[in-house]
């Protein structure tokens, strides 16, 4: 899936470990991602979390898309920050699922929570994709 995800690749998002219902993705905040308040635009944080969410949801095989999502910003990310989004599926029921993603700032081995994201997923195909 990552190979076809040009949006994530264009932002320099790197896919980390992916397991069944889990995924991690990293992104560095660049100059183009900073808004007029000199902090990372929330849309980029949402996109990073949404990418990790997508990789986790699609780890089961069938094509799965977001049916909704929300994000809570805990603190600001700044130019140069290395961000890590860790996604963990909470539940699957029928063709639906719920996945939580925590976005961290990484600094010298320490992690600080930047945002909390909750996504709702929906399987749109029953068959395994190739």
Locate the domains of the chain by residue range: 2-128
Taking only the tens place, the pLDDT of each residue in 46-103 is: 999 999 999 999 998 889 999 999 999 999 999 999 999 999 999 999 999 999 999 9
Using alpha carbons, list the distances in angstroms from residue 81 to 39, 45, 114: 10, 12, 11
pTM of the model: 0.90
Using alpha carbons, list the distances in angstroms from residue 53 to 23, 79, 90: 7, 23, 11
Helix or strand or coil: residue 55? helix
Rounded Cα distance, 1 and 55, in Å: 7
> Which CATH superfamily is 2-128 part of?
Hotdog Thioesterase (3.10.129.10)
* Residue 125: predicted pLDDT: 67
Question: What is the chain's length?
Answer: 130
Mean pLDDT (whole number) for 30-35 = 95
């Amino acid at each position: 899936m990552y190979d076809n995800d040009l949006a994530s690749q264009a932002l320099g998002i790197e896919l980390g470990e992916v397991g069944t219902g889990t995924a991690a993705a990293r992104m560095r905040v660049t100059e183009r991602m900073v808004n007029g308040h000199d902090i990372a635009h929330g849309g980029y944080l949402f996109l990073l979390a949404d990418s990790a969410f997508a990789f986790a949801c699609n780890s089961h095989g069938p094509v799965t898309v977001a049916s909704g999502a929300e994000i809570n910003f805990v603190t600001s990310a700044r130019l140069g920050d290395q961000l890590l989004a860790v996604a963990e599926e909470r539940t699957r029921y029928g063709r639906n699922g719920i996945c939580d993603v925590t976005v961290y700032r990484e600094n010298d081995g320490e992690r600080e929570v930047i945002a909390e994201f909750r996504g709702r997923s929906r399987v749109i195909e029953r068959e395994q994709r190739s």
